[in-house]
Amino acid sequence: MTIRNRLALQFTLLVGLLLGGGLGMVYYLSWQNTRKLYEQRLQERAYTAATLYLEADEQSPASIERVRKRFQRNLNEEVVSIYDDENRVRFGTQPNEAFTPALLAQVRRTRYVRQHHGQEQLVGVYYHDNQGNFCIMVTAVDRSGQQRLAHLRLVSVGVLLLGMLLSFVLGRWFARTALAPISQLVHRAQRVGASDLQLNLPTPPPDELGELSATLDLMLQRLKHSFEQQQSFINNASHELRTPLTAMIGELEITLARPRSADAYADALRSALADAHKLKEIISRLLQLAQLGSGEAQLPEGGTIRLDEVLFEACEEATLLQEDDRVRITLGDLPEDAALLTVPGDRHLFRLALSNLIDNACKFSEGPVLCSLAYTPGQVTFAIADNGIGIAPADLQHVRQTFFRAANAHGFRGYGVGLALAANIFSLHGASLEIESELHKGTTMRVVLAV
């Protein structure tokens, strides 16, 4: 069942309950009022009978005549009986089995009785007269009242059915109007594909549906960005993996084209081994980057990083790799309490990220690389500065992307993975990477970490 029909049915049931309850209350009050009015008429008939038959000696002939005329207008199936103290009928139009001795005794005891026997209404009145004490019993059937109630029932049922039918029609109309933006959203979402991740919705209204539309648009934008990154990753990875493989295959094919000396075979194997090492390095970095990007990497339970020590370790590692002494370390004002420089995290990953930054600084410059650590209350800042080739302003916004290499960096070794890997590692530790660079003058990279 669609939401539109479900809402219409729920609205119809609600209206039916309210309308049925209201009509039921009207009918109940009408029924009570009809019975009460007819009971008053029966009581009046009882006193009229008493005046006509028990008070005749005390009334004028004209009064008795008026009472007699009024009494002659009988009610439907009316029975009037007057009993004395010995339960003898002193006056009665016709016998009635409802006038039992027990009922007469109850009338004498309570002075007034009213009962219902099927369609009949009964009234019993205790009457004191100079001739004695009497029980005046009157019973009749209110045909006109029953007809009015039957008509009211018929009208109420008709109004209820008509009201529920109208409420269902109106409910469907309201539901269709209210859900029209969702239907539009569904139709547009059905046309969304991997090649076109745009809903192209009009300006959303400022309500829940507008919030849903904006959320879906935002989700599709993230998916589009992820697809673009994935496509770029695949293209760049294919290119980077194909290059050493092509070189390896070409070298081996040339070597196997004709018999060669042992030295030639050894040179070919060494070249193939170098290409294999390059391939292994690319794959290792891709696996690390994929693990961080997929959210699988987590900080170890209880792992800690001493920030000044990890900087020294990264600089020492970079010095060993560069085989020179260009890496310089400067320390700013550090706290006396060493615990302020200890943060939770993965020491190996953090050192790897710093090493990547220092390695890039050494690779793209020939002068010294300055590594510094500064502490301010609540914050630690690493800075790696070089005076190398720098980064063009147009390339700054792309340098964190996997496999991206600036136009002036193609003549240097590398695969465009290290900086993206470092940025993900810093993000995992809650640190931010800030890059300042000026073309041909150098680059400064800052890692800001809250402590």
Average pLDDT rounded to a whole number, residues 296-310: 78
Mean pLDDT, rounded, of the chain? 80
Buried b (16+ CB within 10 A) or exposed e, 387-407: bbbbbeeebeeebebbbbbbe
- Those residues whose C-beta lies under 8 Å from the C-beta of residue 190, and which sit 6 or more positions away, are none
Alpha carbon of residue 94 to chain centroid: 76
Lowest mean pLDDT among 25-39, 221-235, 353-367: 221-235
Per the DSSP assignment, residues forming a β-bridge with 435 are: 445
User: What is the CATH number that goes with domain 208-293?
Assistant: 1.10.287.130
- The model's pLDDT over 348-384, given as tens digits with 9 standing for 90+, comes to 888 888 988 988 888 888 888 999 999 998 899 999 9
How much is the pLDDT for 449? 92
pLDDT score recorded for residue 82: 86
Between 391 and 202, where is the model more confident? 391
Query: What's the half-sphere exposure (Cβ side, CA atoms, 13 Å) at 116?
Result: 8
Q: What b/e readout covers 425-450, taking b as 16+ CB neighbours within 10 angstroms?
A: bbebbebebebebeeeebbbbbbebe
Full strand arrangement of the beta sheet holding 379-386: 327-331, 369-376, 379-386, 442-450, 432-438
- Cβ atoms within 10 A of the Cβ of 346, count? 19
pLDDT value at position 272? 83
CA dist 331 to 112, 155, 339, 433, 445, Å? 110, 94, 17, 19, 16
DSSP letter, residue 404: -
Global pTM reads 0.48
Answer yes or no: is pLDDT of 30 > 80: yes
Percent of the chain residues past pLDDT 90, beyond the cut: 18
pLDDT higher than 60, residue 142: yes
Average pLDDT of 310-331?
Answer: 83
Weakest mean pLDDT among 212-221, 252-261, 280-289: 280-289
Residues β-bridged to residue 366:
none
Q: Which residue has the tokens 């295959």?
A: 249
Per-residue pLDDT averaged across 406-418, rounded? Answer: 72
Q: What are 381-401's pLDDT values in tens digits?
A: 999 999 988 888 888 887 887
The neighbour count for residue 365, using CB atoms within 10 Å, is 18
Q: Which of 304, 299, 306 is nearest to 429 (CA)?
A: 299
Residue 116 has a pLDDT of 84
Looking at domain 3-150, its CATH architecture is 2-Layer Sandwich (3.30)
Asked whether 436 and 383 are in contact (CB, 8 A), the reply is no
Q: What is the CATH number of domain 304-450?
A: 3.30.565.10
Q: Which residue has the higher pLDDT, 413 or 105?
A: 105
Query: How far is residue 436 CA from its own chain's centroid?
Result: 43
Q: Which of 124, 77, 74 is nearest to 99 (CA)?
A: 124
**Contact 285/321 with Cβ under 8 angstroms?**
no
Count Cβ atoms below 10 Å from residue 156 Cβ, excluding itself.
Answer: 18
Domain ranges of the chain: 3-150, 208-293, 304-450
The pLDDT score that the predictor gives to residue 380 is: 92
Per-residue pLDDT band at 298 (split at 50, 70, 90): low
